[in-house]
Each structure stands twice: as structure tokens, then as C-alpha cells.
């Protein structure tokens, strides 16, 4: 089996925005599906890990696109493991038309947790570090890693929303992609008519659940670049807690 | 080519709810995809209609499920045209595991519009009524048609939301499935833990756009049965207009 997994999808009409290009959230969802297919086929997927009481947890995701697939177009996601350490593994993505035209790239960082203690777990302890058999360290992924998103204290409160039924996935918390969609909803169509989303990165800090209210704080950090911090007021105590932090770069 | 189109999909993890069963919205989306594949392959799809300045418009959708496909399961959607009249056509769906186990059914009503005047257009005028070659009137679809959703004046205001970027599809208005998701978000996970959504029907009345605020009015109409009316305050005049009307039946 090849170390790089290659999966072909179609840009569905309702997964495309007003301009007929895929929503970034749906592309991110297919990246996560590709990661699931790739790891499952190679013996370290979620289903197998569940038998060991372990699970992958997405820690960071960065997507940088030159162009988004258009409605009805087929596109290909290649995914591979760039490196694996004790507590984190780096998985990359390349999105293309399958014929040599590159749409863009993604980088993700995953941790493994013990599903009983919710504590970090040693990735290399699984099957004597078998994931190391799948490392691809020579395929380029020419986009920056997601760095620490630096935000000052001047981020402006821009919106709050209640976490609802459709936000929650089988893990019982808000699904990783829904945060991306809610953050991108902070800009309106007039903005997207004039600006193309070039890069989006998100670092997940804490899980949000139904009953939480998510508050969005936004700060411009450069020309056409914004950072967004999501805070939740916990359902029980009302204490504010950071949920995730994002950076959106438009061109 | 067979009159009935058969398409196989997989229930993606992030398209499943907290219980590991598909969200109804995602199933509805795949029904609309199946309708698109079926009509395109048979010469009366959206792309072809665009060359005639015509378009299909979904007028009603009713889905009734005995069970929802679970995470990672393959499921099959069969779709066919039950009847075609001058201004409306009835298209049905059967959702199964592809091996004889039926999950449920769907019924939809479509109108055709002239994309320039936005007025109803004669379906049977397209290629001399060619759609009549595809009628299947002997395949059962044993669920009730979506009737007129009757609501009194006592519906209670329960929520309002702003229409955002991710709600809008290439037609420039809120996509049909997003209404379903927003309506189903009126119930929380505690409710869904105790109640299975058995039937959902929606009748589309007017289009909503970015800038509109959607207000949800809910009325219990029988045991475990609710009707929901969506109103918009138009961005320009503020006048309240009905957008769609839904019925949700739980068991």
C-alpha cells in the first residue's frame, strides 16, 4: 500500500457558496474524511484505536488555497503523515484536480488521547510505533505551519451564538468543522465578493458542548488578516474559557 | 437507461449526530444530489435547463424514516419521477441499505421557473414533454404526501437568527437544506435523546437572502408533532413575510 492516500471527491452544488466555489468548511470536512480513510486503511484509524481506548484528536488545521474547486468539479485530496512524535503527529494534504493542477494544501496536527482519562497518550506506543512505517518526509507541502495565533487584548466582541443540535457530532462536542463555518460567517457576502479567503488556520483549545454559548472576538492583525478568538461561557459556572483561535487571511 | 436512478452514498462521520445516526439535513442534501444526478443523466437536469433559461425549484419535501443510516454505513437512494404536470412534478425517493432493508422514503414537489422573469414555466413544454418518458407510476412510496401545513395564530416565537454566508448557495438565497437544519436546531440534544424524528416536511414559500433575519414560530399540533413557521423581516422594508412552513413528527 502506498504511503500517500489519494481520494477523489466531487464539489457538490450545496457545498458551494454564492460564487459557485466550495465552502472551506466542506473542503476541511473532506480532508478529515481523507485522513480517516488513510489511517483506517493503514491500521491506525479511529475504529481500531477505539478498541485500545484511544482516539485521535485534531489539534490544529491550516488550509491555504490558490483556488477552490467549483460546483460539480472533481478534485483529489492526497494525504500523508509527515512526522510522528510521542504526543503529536503532523498530517499534510494536497488538493488538486488530479491532473496536475494544484488547488492548495493543508497541514494538520493531531494528538492521541486516552478516551477514559481524556489525557494525552503516547502515539508511538501503538503497535510498537507502527505509524513510523508510513512517514513521508520528502513530499513538499509548501505552506506555513499553523503558528501560535497571537492576539492582543483589543479583539472586539462581534457575535455570540448558542451551540445547537446540528453542531454536535458523535463525540458529544462541537465538530471541528462547525467552528470554521461559524467563524467564516462573521464576514458577509459583500466582503466575500471582494475578498478571496486565501488561508485559514485554527487551533483547538477546549471542547464546546450543547448549552454553551460561543462568543466571537475579532481583531485585525495585518491588511486583510484577522484573528478570531472563540470563548464559551460554560453552561454550569458561566466562567469564560477559550475554545479555539483562528486566523483568516484574505486576498 | 432505467427510469429509476440508484445512487450509493456513505454516512460520513461528521454528517452524523451525537447518536451516530445521519443528520436529516445531510440525508436531504443527498436526496437532492440524487435528483440532480437522475435528471442530468436523463436530459432534464439543471445544467441543460440553464441553456433554456429555466430552472427547477424545490417546492415541497417530505421525508419519513424508520431508521437513519449509521456512521460509516453505505446507503442507497433510489429516485424517480412519479408524475409530471404543467407546473409541478412529483419526485420520490427510497432510502435503503441496498440489500433490501428500507430506511425510509421521501416525496418532493418541484416547479420550473423562467430564470429571467422568475415566473412559473410549463414543464411539459421542454423537449415536447420528454419528462413523460421517465414517469414511474407503479413503484410504491408508502408515505403521505406533504399536505398543507395548517397553523393557527398561537404559534410561539422561539428564536431568530441572521442569515449568514454559509447559508447561501449559488442561487444567491438560503439553501433548501439549511432551513431544515435551522428548524431541527429548535430542539436540544436532551429532546433528541428521548425522541426520534420520524417525519419532516417543509413547504417553501419565499426565498430568504443574506441580510434577512429569520424568525421561528413553533406550535404543537398533536402529541410529538410540531409545526414551525419561518418568517423573515425583509432587509429593506422590515415587513414580515412567510419563508417556509415545516412539520416535524417525533416518536
For chain B, how big is the Rg over CA atoms in Å?
18
Percent of chain B with pLDDT over 90: 91
State pLDDT tens for residues A39-63: 999 999 999 999 999 999 999 999 9
State pLDDT tens for residues A89-132: 999 999 999 999 999 999 999 999 999 999 999 999 999 999 99
User: Would you say how long chain B is, in residues?
Assistant: 251
State pLDDT tens for residues A163-173: 999 999 998 99
What's the average model confidence in pLDDT over B43-72? Answer: 96
User: Which grid coordinates are listed for A215?
Assistant: 462568543
Which own/partner contact pairs does A93-100 have at CB distance under 8 Å and 24+ positions apart? A93/A31, A93/A34, A93/A35, A93/A63, A93/A141, A94/A139, A94/A141, A95/A27, A95/A31, A95/A65, A95/A69, A97/A69, A97/A73, A98/A8, A98/A74
Q: Which residues on chain A are in Cβ contact (under 8 Å) with B164?
A: 185, 188
**Which H/E stretch holds residue A28?**
helix A24-41
Q: How many CB atoms lie within 10 A of CB A134?
A: 20
Q: Is the pLDDT of residue A139 over 80?
A: yes
3-state helix, strand, coil in chain A (%, to 5): 20, 40, 35
A48 contact B CB<8A = no
Phi, psi of A43 (to 5 degrees): 90, 10
**Does ipTM top 0.90?**
yes
State pLDDT tens for residues A214-239: 999 999 999 999 999 999 987 678 78
Q: Are A174 and A207 in contact (CB under 8 A)?
A: yes
Q: How many CB atoms lie within 10 A of CB B97?
A: 15
Distance between CA atoms of B151 and B244, rounded to whole angstroms?
12
Of A134-148, B116-130, B139-153, which gets the smallest average pLDDT? B139-153
Amino acid A196: pLDDT? 97
Phi, psi of B95 (to 5 degrees): -105, 125
End-to-end CA distance of chain B: 39
B235 contact A CB<8A = no
Distance between CA atoms of B28 and B23, rounded to whole angstroms?
9
User: Which grid coordinates are listed for A193?
Assistant: 465578493
Q: In the A/B pair of chains, how many CB contacts fall below 8 A?
A: 96
User: Nearest CA of chain B to the CA of A138: how many Å?
Assistant: 31
User: Which grid coordinates are listed for A52?
Assistant: 485500545
Chosen for mutation from B170, B178, B214, B250 (greatest number of chain A CBs closer than 10 Å) is B170
Percent of chain B with pLDDT over 70: 100
Amino acid B235: pLDDT? 67
Amino acid B177: pLDDT? 97
Distance between CA atoms of A147 and A162, rounded to whole angstroms?
28
Confidence bin at A185 (pLDDT 50/70/90): very high
Confidence bin at B12 (pLDDT 50/70/90): very high
Q: Which residues on chain B are in Cβ contact (under 8 Å) with A31?
A: none
Which own/partner contact pairs does A35-43 have at CB distance under 8 Å and 24+ positions apart? A35/A79, A35/A91, A35/A93, A35/A108, A36/B13, A37/A5, A37/A7, A38/A5, A38/A7, A38/A79, A38/A80, A41/A1, A41/A5, A42/A1, A42/A5, A42/A134, A43/A127, A43/A130
User: In chain A, count of helices (H) and strands (E)?
Assistant: 4, 10
Q: Nearest CB to B192: which of A71, A165, A188?
A: A165
Confidence bin at B150 (pLDDT 50/70/90): confident
What's the average model confidence in pLDDT over B144-171? Answer: 90
Q: How many CB atoms lie within 10 A of CB B113?
A: 17
CA dist B90 to B60, B164, B243, Å? 9, 31, 21
Amino acid at each position: 500500500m502506498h504511503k500517500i492516500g489519494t481520494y477523489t471527491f466531487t464539489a457538490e452544488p450545496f457545498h458551494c457558496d454564492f460564487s459557485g466555489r466550495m465552502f472551506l468548511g466542506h473542503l476541511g470536512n473532506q480532508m478529515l474524511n481523507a485522513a480517516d480513510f488513510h489511517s483506517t486503511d493503514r491500521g491506525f484509524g479511529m475504529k481500531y484505536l477505539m478498541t485500545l481506548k484511544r482516539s485521535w484528536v485534531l489539534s490544529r488545521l491550516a488550509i491555504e488555497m490558490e483556488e477552490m474547486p467549483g460546483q460539480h468539479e472533481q478534485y483529489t485530496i492526497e494525504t500523508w503523515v509527515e512526522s510522528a512524535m510521542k504526543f503529536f503527529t503532523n498530517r499534510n494534504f494536497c488538493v488538486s484536480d488530479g491532473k496536475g493542477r494544484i488547488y492548495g494544501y493543508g497541514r494538520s496536527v493531531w494528538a492521541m488521547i486516552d478516551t477514559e482519562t481524556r489525557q494525552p497518550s503516547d502515539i508511538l506506543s501503538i503497535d510498537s510505533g507502527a505509524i513510523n512505517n508510513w512517514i513521508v518526509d520528502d513530499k513538499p507541502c509548501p505552506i506555513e505551519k499553523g503558528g501560535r495565533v497571537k492576539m492582543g487584548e483589543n479583539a472586539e466582541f462581534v457575535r455570540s451564538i448558542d451551540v445547537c443540535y446540528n453542531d454536535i457530532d458523535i463525540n458529544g462536542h462541537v465538530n471541528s468543522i462547525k467552528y470554521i463555518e461559524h467563524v467564516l460567517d462573521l464576514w458577509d457576502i459583500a466582503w466575500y465578493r471582494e475578498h478571496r479567503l486565501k488561508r485559514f488556520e485554527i487551533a483547538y483549545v477546549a471542547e464546546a458542548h450543547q448549552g454553551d454559548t460561543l462568543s466571537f472576538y475579532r481583531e485585525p492583525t495585518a491588511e486583510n488578516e484577522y484573528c478570531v478568538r472563540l470563548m464559551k461561557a460554560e453552561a454550569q459556572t458561566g466562567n469564560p474559557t477559550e475554545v479555539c483561535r483562528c486566523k483568516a487571511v484574505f486576498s
